[in-house]
Amino acid sequence: MLVERLKESDTELYRPALESLRTLIRTSTSSMTSVPKPLKFLRPHFPDLQTLYETWPASENKSQFADILSVLAMTYSDTQPRGTLKYRLLSASLKPVNAPLVDPGTWGHEYVRHLAAELGEEFEYREEQEGGTSTESETSKVEVPGTIEDLRSLAKECSLFLLNHNAEPDAVDLLQELEMIESVVTLVDENTFDRVCQYMTRCVSFLPPPDDIAFLQTVHKIYTQFQKFPEAITLAIRLGDRDMVRDDFNAAGNPVMKRQLAFILARAQIPIEWLQADSADGEEEEEFSSDLLECLSNARLSTSFREFGKEMGVEEAKSLEDVYKTHLENTRASTSNVDSARGNLAGTFVNAFVNAGFGNDKLMVDVEAGSSWIYKNKDHGMMSAAASLGLSLLWDTDMGLSHIDKYTYSAEEYIKAGCYLAIGISNASIRTEADAALALLAEHVENKSVPLRTGAIMGLGMAYAGSQREEVMATLLPLIVDEDVSMEICSLAALALGFVFVGSENGEITGTILQVLMEKAERGDKELEGKWARFLSLGLGLLYLGQQNGSDATLETLKAIEKPISKTAQVIVEGCAFAGTTNVLRVQKMLHECDEHIVPPKEDEKKEGDKEKKEGEEKKDGEEKKEEPSKQDDAFQTFAVIAIALISMGEEIGSQMSMRQFNHLMHYGEPNIRKAVPLAIGLVNASNPQLPILETLSKYSHDNDLTVALNAIFAMGLVGAGSNNARLAQMLRQLAGYYHKEADCLFMVRIAQGLVHMGKGTVGVNPFFSDRSIMHKPAVAGLLAVLTAFTDAKGFILDKQHWMLYFLVNAMYPRFMITLDEELNNVPVAVRVGQAVDVVGQAGKPRTISGFQTHTTPVRLGTTERAELATEEFISYAAVLEGFVILKKNPGWESEDSRMQL
């Protein structure tokens, strides 16, 4: 009847008819399965109404008519795409100037979602039109009025409705589709911002650059707008944006909040210089108060860690037998013919890793001067033994120096060299005003003896990892350029600078390393094909850690170098630049590098067949390489595998996908690819021992190829680092029995056992923190350096460079959560600890942890665990409960007793 009414000529009747249509459509509720009645009955009339609409003159009534048609068009979306949007925009354009537009939300949720979908389609279609790539399909037949601006303002209205009705993800997706994600900042309020931010932060790992950066910056704006400083500063650290970090730190007015931020910055090892305003403005640098400096420089770490050890009941030093449990190995004692120097060397490392940070082990610290374990090692073994002092006294700068000092006067240069390393290790991730490491080590960098030099260089690199100290650069840069020094010293200096300036894109260092590579390549220097050159490339790669496209210029320069090293360097730099971004395109690129079969020259007949295949695939670099008859360098493939792990770690889905790729590579790869697979698995799952991964590694550790087996054993140690995992310990004991005649493998098993019990189960090496959202760059640098040494285990770790295992120190950090009051004294609080659950985008307030147990702080958190306060007695300053957390009393809280009295 109403439709008939609209067809009549009497214009007076239109208005009431439209009104009643509107109320009918709005008030009819429908169940989920059936179409609302008015829409159902009006559907056959839709074509008539459309033709009728065209005959009406422009007026307010016509605008209302368009509004109704827009709703009806929902039922026709399959035959007439984007009809809803078309009539919606027409309705808007026909409105009188002063009349307010009907809010799309009044038609209900389904309508808004429909509109949002069509907005996305229309925008995409217009983009294609501009690009001239439009495909003539039926979608392009509908001409929608209005400009892009109209589309965007409509999208804003829809987003606002969606945000207010708990559909935050839909709102974010709509704005992202219309490329206007920045405008979400103005749309959120204090009820919705948190969920929007969580959803956006989770999206980041699935977005291509530059969108991912834009998302992080937008979320950062929202957090600062609502004064959520801990969340904001974690994002600033993720972006690596110096000014952002400084502004966030200074924006917090509350001194207690500043301390909490200082703890977060210290955990990320952000250089203190970042927080001071650039003193070029002529202003005086503001001095931080002593308590702030203490938080910023990690000075509390050692004492807190030891107290934590006491609470956990593990402060007693563990002996080697406690770790090995040899009585459980099933070997007959009569057959033990292991060379004891090797055994003692393994003992050095196990003792150091197990008692790390407690400073009370029985072999090195608590012994009389003459009977020290150092003297039970030969030559280069002494270097590692002396350096293990630093690990035992990890983070304890005062005690550390006095203990190490007495060995610096030794006549043995290996012991001295070990002491220099130890000084660097004990200062790792701590900043002191004394700057002891720089003062003691800088003079020895120019020393004649090679061990002393390496000790001093790497000591500096580890002590100042991530601090970007100019003084260190001034000390070490000359060594890279100096043509008289060996490749070993040159590469280690580059690596140390890579540690110190990790992820800083420092132009001066980059330029120097590239120049040296080019000069050596022009001279045809044989050293570029030696084992040390990989560390030169790694030093270069670390400068670009996590910088994404910042590395383009460097990659172009590397392509100009004709030597095989250039390929390896390109893979390393690119892998580092996209570390932790889960960038799918880069992973594919690295897989392409792996599928090239490089054939030794003597198999000429095969090579011909291969070459034809290659030409079919148009792999240009493959053909260029085929011209030179010498044996080709296949090291780049080894690093391509590690690069895949590097890019995909830190995000669960990416990590799982990479595990599948590794299985394929293990089946079909060449030996140089296979040996890297266990290392890559270890990197993706550092300190995260899950059964399927342990099973896989256990299988690889019995491989016929001993290099694969060796690396798999080390990877088992890495995956279980600091977890005390009983199942893993059992596997390693079986391996010790299995390899009791293979000295190399047994040595590795021992070291893996030491890693599993690292810090007696209180220290982990996972490079992600703050709920696994921030990648800790110095930690990644340390892990990468160790893995690089394992790409040629026979040449480094099993030869004289076993001290490279200490690079793990940069990644070691206590896995505790300690609660402090506002005066920074320990407060025991009840917390629930359980497996972290991803609840982003779920309705309501779901539990963020599952299967929890309630403990009193301080507590130990596993890699995939999360903590939350059990009662509401305290309010936490930090957003994520891990590391040091400052609490304040909740003023509105009443304890059970006081309620009982009332």
d(CA 99, CA 680): 64
**Distance linking the first and last C-alpha atoms of the chain:** 68
Whole-number Å distance between alpha carbons of 53 and 74: 17
Whole-angstrom distance, CA of residue 212 vs CA of residue 193: 18
Residue 641: Cβ-neighbour burial (10 angstroms; 0-12, 13-18, 19+): buried
Instruction: State mean pLDDT over 389-402.
Output: 83
What are 498's two structure tokens? Answer: 């890579």
Residues 756-794 have pLDDT tens digits of 999 888 899 999 988 888 899 999 999 999 999 999 888
User: What are the pLDDT digits (tens) for 247-274?
Assistant: 999 888 888 999 999 999 988 888 888 8
Rg of the chain on CA atoms, in Å: 32
pLDDT digits (tens, 9 = 90+) for 496-519: 999 999 988 888 999 999 998 888
Rounded to whole angstroms, how far apart are CA atoms 382 and 416?
9
Q: Could you tell me the CA-to-CA distances from 301 to 295, 354, 808 in Å, in that order?
A: 9, 18, 18
CA pair distance 86, 93, nearest whole angstrom: 11
- For strand 883-889 and strand 816-820, is the pairing parallel, antiparallel, or unpaired? parallel
Which of the residue ranges 196-200, 334-338, 368-372, 672-676 would you say has the lowest mean pLDDT? Answer: 334-338
Q: Which residues contact 339 (CB under 8 A, 6 or more apart)?
A: 743
646 with 784: CB under 8 angstroms? yes
Task: Measure the CA–CA gap between 257 and 271, rounded to whole angstroms.
Answer: 19
Highest mean pLDDT, choosing among 478-487, 545-554, 618-627, 824-833: 824-833
pLDDT tens sequence across 82-116:
777 777 777 777 666 555 566 677 777 788 888 88
Judge if the upstream peptide bond of residue 692 is cis by omega within 30 degrees of 0. no
Residues 6 or more apart whose CB falls under 8 angstroms from that of 237 comprise 245, 264, 265, 268, 270, 774
Tens digit of each residue's pLDDT (9 = 90 or more) over 28-64:
655 545 566 667 777 777 787 788 878 777 777 777 7
Q: How confident is the model at residue 898 (pLDDT cuts 50, 70, 90)?
A: low
Rounded-to-integer distance, Cα 466 and Cα 271, Å:
7
Phi first, then psi, for residue 260 (nearest 5°) are: -60, -45
Which pLDDT does position 629 carry in this prediction?
31
Residue 719 has a pLDDT of 93
Give the CA distances from residue 899 to residues 300, 829, 870, 871, in Å, rounded to whole numbers and listed in that order.
38, 20, 18, 15
Looking up tokens 């390496």 gives 454
Helix (H), strand (E), coil (C) string for 3-18: HHHHHCCCHHHHHHHH
Comparing 173 with 14, the larger pLDDT belongs to: 173
Helices (H), 649-742: 652-668, 671-674, 676-684, 691-700, 706-719, 726-738
Residue 140 pLDDT: 47
Nearest alpha carbon to residue 518 among 455, 562, 564: 562
Does the structure show a pLDDT above 70 at 1? no
d(CA 503, CA 239): 11
pLDDT in tens, 621-633: 222 222 233 345 6
pLDDT over 90 at 218, yes or no: yes
